[in-house]
């Protein structure tokens, strides 16, 4: 619905905006989500000056985060996905808040040799051993934290295991990113989850369709998601519930960095002031650098202790 017709613009053959489609099949027996995250995968690659390997990894994690985020209905809710593997890229963390995503990688500039089939070595970048952690914060009370062991570092397999182990939800998931020489051609994903009451027949029917979407980035490269879904789930009572845009943006601010500075403690702040040098803080999601002069830090310390006094018990 959000997809525009084929047009060649800014280097992309299929100039569709990032968006997410929510659907059901067989009268709600399974839910289907599909998303296109090509633009944000490019923005992430540009933000982190990423190698093609890192861009491919982010181009798989971003659609996963977008689909998980869309399942959280609370307005102040968020989801955080962390792939902590022993791969060359280090830790990857993506955060989804509603339709807005951000992502960071420990070592975004590491390029690994291509795999034999010509694809980027995402498993080598993330690591085949380690943990996947999913934090769902509903904006009220304790967040839900689920973890599972990495299976392959290929992202989709790791998340499928997480859904099975941690959420007991049978899921079919495909994620993909097509990119080369700094350009992301296509990034996206599809997630199908059985709902309570889903029959074995429906599950079998869905599994039979895996070959249609297993190469998801190539499928959505030049075609509308809705058109694809209608073809793939033909005769399965496909209902499109919603279609909406996805955004890539960071929610950091000077105020949040100030709070982080204050949290380092009084002694640290005094040392910063005594050093006479500016303090530079970097947001690891958008790479924005913010500077605090010794005078700024002195003021922060003053404000923080004034606040502390107000709340101090008699």
Find the shortest distance in angstroms from Cβ 81 to Zn ion. 17
Q: How far apart are CA 27 and CA 44, in angstroms?
A: 37
Residue count, binding to Zn ion (CB under 5 A) = 5
Please pick, from the candidates 93, 285, 296, 297, the single residue that binds Zn ion as defined by CB under 5 A: 285
Kindly state whether residue 44 participates in binding Zn ion, applying the rule CB under 5 A: no
Kindly state whether residue 248 participates in binding Zn ion, applying the rule CB under 5 A: no
The whole-angstrom distance between residue 152's C-alpha and the CA centroid of its chain comes to 18
SS (H, E, C) 165-182: HHCCCCEEEEEEEEEECC
Please pick, from the candidates 25, 33, 44, 283, the single residue that binds Zn ion as defined by CB under 5 A: 283
Find the shortest distance in angstroms from Cβ 252 to Zn ion. 3
Kindly state whether residue 252 participates in binding Zn ion, applying the rule CB under 5 A: yes
The whole-angstrom distance between residue 111's C-alpha and the CA centroid of its chain comes to 20
Kindly state whether residue 232 participates in binding Zn ion, applying the rule CB under 5 A: no
Q: How far apart are CA 101 and CA 44, in angstroms?
A: 10
Please pick, from the candidates 184, 286, 300, 304, the single residue that binds Zn ion as defined by CB under 5 A: 286
Nearer to Zn ion, 21 or 65 (CB): 65
Stretch that binds Zn ion, among 151-159, 205-213, 247-255, 256-264 (CB under 5 A): 247-255
What phi and psi values does residue 194 have, to the nearest 5 degrees? -70, 135
Find the shortest distance in angstroms from Cβ 213 to Zn ion. 33
Nearer to Zn ion, 91 or 218 (CB): 91
Q: How far apart are CA 110 and CA 51, in angstroms?
A: 6
Find the shortest distance in angstroms from Cβ 190 to Zn ion. 29
Find the shortest distance in angstroms from Cβ 95 to Zn ion. 10
Q: How far apart are CA 104 and CA 111, in angstroms?
A: 16
**Contact present, 171 and 203 (Cβ < 8 Å):** no
The whole-angstrom distance between residue 85's C-alpha and the CA centroid of its chain comes to 16
Nearer to Zn ion, 254 or 302 (CB): 254
Q: How far apart are CA 126 and CA 107, in angstroms?
A: 10
**Contact present, 60 and 81 (Cβ < 8 Å):** no
Residues that bind Zn ion (CB under 5 A): 250, 252, 283, 285-286
């Amino acid at each position: 619905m959000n997809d525009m017709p084929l047009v060649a613009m800014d280097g992309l053959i299929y100039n569709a905006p990032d968006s997410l489609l929510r659907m059901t099949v067989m009268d709600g027996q399974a839910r289907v989500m599909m998303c296109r995250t090509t633009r944000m995968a490019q923005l992430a690659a540009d933000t982190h000056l990423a190698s093609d390997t890192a861009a491919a990894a982010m181009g798989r994690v971003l659609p996963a985060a977008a689909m998980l985020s869309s399942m959280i209905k609370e307005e102040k809710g968020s989801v955080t996905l962390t792939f902590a593997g022993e791969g060359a890229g280090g830790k990857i963390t993506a955060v989804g808040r509603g339709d807005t995503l951000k992502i960071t990688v420990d070592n975004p500039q590491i390029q690994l040799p291509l795999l034999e089939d010509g694809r980027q070595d995402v498993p080598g970048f993330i690591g085949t051993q380690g943990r996947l952690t999913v934090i769902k914060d509903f904006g009220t009370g304790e967040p839900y934290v689920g973890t599972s062991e990495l299976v392959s570092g290929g992202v989709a397999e790791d998340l499928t295991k997480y859904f099975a182990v941690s959420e007991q939800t049978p899921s079919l998931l495909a994620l993909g990113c097509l990119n080369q020489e700094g350009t992301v051609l296509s990034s996206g994903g599809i997630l199908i989850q059985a709902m309570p009451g889903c029959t074995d027949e429906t599950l079998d029917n869905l599994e039979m369709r895996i070959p249609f979407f297993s190469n998801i980035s190539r499928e959505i490269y030049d075609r509308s998601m809705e058109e694809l879904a209608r073809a793939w789930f033909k005769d399965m009572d496909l209902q499109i519930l919603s279609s909406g845009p996805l955004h890539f943006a960071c929610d950091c601010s000077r105020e949040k960095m100030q709070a982080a500075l204050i949290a380092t403690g009084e002694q640290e702040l005094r040392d910063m002031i005594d050093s006479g040098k500016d303090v530079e803080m970097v947001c690891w999601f958008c790479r924005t650098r913010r500077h605090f002069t010794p005078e700024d830090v002195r003021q922060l310390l003053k404000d923080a202790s004034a606040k502390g006094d107000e709340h101090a018990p008699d």
